[in-house]
Amino acid sequence: MTYKVAIAGATGYAGGEILRLLLNHPAYASGDLEIGALTGHSNAGQSVAELMPHLPQLADRTIVDTTVENLAGHDVVFLGLPHGHSGPIAKALGEDVVVIDCAADFRLKDAQEWEDFYGSEHAGTWPYGIPELPGHREQLQGSKRVAVPGCFPTTMTLGALPAVAGKLIEPDLTIIAVTGVSGAGKKASVPLLGAETMGSVKAYSPGGTHRHTPEVIQNLNPLAEAPVNVSFTPVLAPMPRGILATITAPLKEGITQEEVTKVFTEFYADEPFCHVLPVGQQPQTQNVVGTNMCHIQAHVDERARKLVITSALDNLTKGTGGAAVQCMNLSLGFAETAGLPLAAVAP
């Protein structure tokens, strides 16, 4: 069977990353996956050659308007749209179409949390696209609806998960996460201009006000002994891609570095996209750029009796587009790793 795939919001950073990965997917090479409609409301009528010259295989294609009519007739539809736009489109496409949403519309289970952080009516909840969370891979296999997680929650969840599940820490997390400017999307914005970001680092949405905070708590709570508390502050850095999160939490009595290393290594032993670094080696964003990998390290601070976890990933790959393709693979029955790079470019 040949699966026909459409991308709504194809000219955005998330849509472009999904296309980059699909063009290198073995199913695309074999003819089992066909790239159909590429939509982008503000860019309709323009060519891919003009808008995304890094995708020469699609240079002769034209962007069409984001309408249900243009997206209909596909087996898989990726939605790379602003928050709040996915629900009506998904409903109109019907239940037989695999819809993979890269926005936040269907991530949260708690309707009140959605309304508090996003200020609109809750659209519902879909299977959540972090396969590495216990029980989630099974939910995603064959699913016709997938909510791709936020890039910050993926970084923080994968970093903290072994410590919370392994009962290594008290579930009181302080998180600082540094991100590249592409996390804000491909839009004209003065704070994201080169002149505003180069040579400067800036914190924003501090201490629990960022929209991704409830998503992290939702992910970790089912595995914790007590309700998880998260104080999260993001930091904007002058780089195109990448997230580096530092997660600090009180260490339980008697826990040693050897035990922490063992728990983290064993937890991710069978996960192809989670790499626990040796003791003394720290994650770097340059080592995950363009890959679907998350690099993780956990360090015991003996003096303060804290566990300091660092995790790094590419916000556009494992943080968005790669996660979307990984979930598509699970939905359609392809190998989960198909089309997803493990190795970065160096230097």
Paired tokens of 307: 């566990």
Report pLDDT digits (tens) over 183-234: 877 777 787 788 888 889 999 989 888 999 999 999 999 999 999 999 999 9
Residue-range domains of the chain with CATH:
3-148+320-332 (3.40.50.720), 152-313 (3.30.360.10)
Other residues' Cβ atoms within 10 Å of the Cβ of residue 265: 15
Query: How much is the average pLDDT of 283-287?
Result: 98
**Per-residue pLDDT, 298:** 98
Q: 202-203 and 294-301 as β-strands: parallel, antiparallel, unpaired?
A: unpaired
Look at the chain and count its residues: 347
Distance from the Cα of residue 203 to its chain's centroid: 21
Catalytic annotation on 327? no
**Per-residue pLDDT, 195:** 82
Provide the pLDDT confidence category of residue 120 given band limits of 50, 70 and 90.
confident
Query: How much is the average pLDDT of 51-74?
Result: 97
Percent of the chain at pLDDT > 70 equals: 100
Lowest-confidence range among 61-75, 178-192, 283-297, 320-334?
178-192
Report pLDDT digits (tens) over 130-151: 999 999 999 999 999 999 999 9
The larger pLDDT score, comparing residue 287 to residue 1, is at 287
**Per-residue pLDDT, 165:** 98
Q: Is the pLDDT of residue 164 over 80?
A: yes
Q: How high is the mean pLDDT of the chain?
A: 95
**Per-residue pLDDT, 66:** 96
**Per-residue pLDDT, 238:** 95
**Per-residue pLDDT, 41:** 84
**Per-residue pLDDT, 182:** 85
Query: How much is the average pLDDT of 261-273?
Result: 98
Query: 151, 274, 294, 327: which one is catalytic?
Result: 151
What is d(CA 292, CA 316) in angstroms, rounded to the nearest whole number? 9
Query: How much is the average pLDDT of 173-181?
Result: 96
CA atoms within 13 A on the CB side of 184: 21
Q: 229-236 and 172-179 as β-strands: parallel, antiparallel, unpaired?
A: parallel
Query: How much is the average pLDDT of 80-100?
Result: 93
For residue 315, the 8-state DSSP code is: T
Q: 76-79 and 98-101 as β-strands: parallel, antiparallel, unpaired?
A: parallel
Provide the pLDDT confidence category of residue 42 given band limits of 50, 70 and 90.
confident
What pTM, to 2 d.p., does this model score? Answer: 0.96
